[in-house]
Structure 1
């Protein structure tokens, strides 16, 4: 993984994006500290999510839980905090 200062990254941003596009990750530093890593974006297509959803059955009580939570929500402002 290549290191680049924040100043270098700012001055060479197009080249930094080109590197990420080609699969390279670059660590951005400032004053010797690691600030960020810029690299290629994930390219998931949803297959992993479908696998997870297929492996786990939905919670049959979820809709009831949401309805119960909604009954607790009001549009009225809450009372002021009690004095200590």
Structure 2
């Protein structure tokens, strides 16, 4: 299906994907996208990965540091001497 046709019938494409169909979308005769059904998942695979032994200790520590830094209660950004006007 051409990109122009896809844009004109997007709702129909979504209906086709919901029914398990996949459609190749082309532009100037070249394949540019594949629209199809999304994989069904409830996060079980991701949770089992996190609970398993596949994550090494260094990676787990990196994830914990990133999480702690991203939360509002995380450590404050450091103030460097040059920012405070000191030499």
TM range (shorter): 0.5 to 0.7
* TM-score, scaled to structure 1: 0.63
Segments of 5+ residues of structure 1 without an aligned counterpart are: 77-84
Runs of 4 or more, structure 1, over 4 Å off, are 72-76
Segments of 5+ residues of structure 2 without an aligned counterpart are: 67-74
Of 6, 13, 22, 1:16 maps to 13
Aligned length: 71
Superposed CA RMSD in Å reads 3.3
Higher strand share: 1
* TM-score, scaled to structure 2: 0.61
Higher relative contact order (CA 8 A, sep 6+): 1
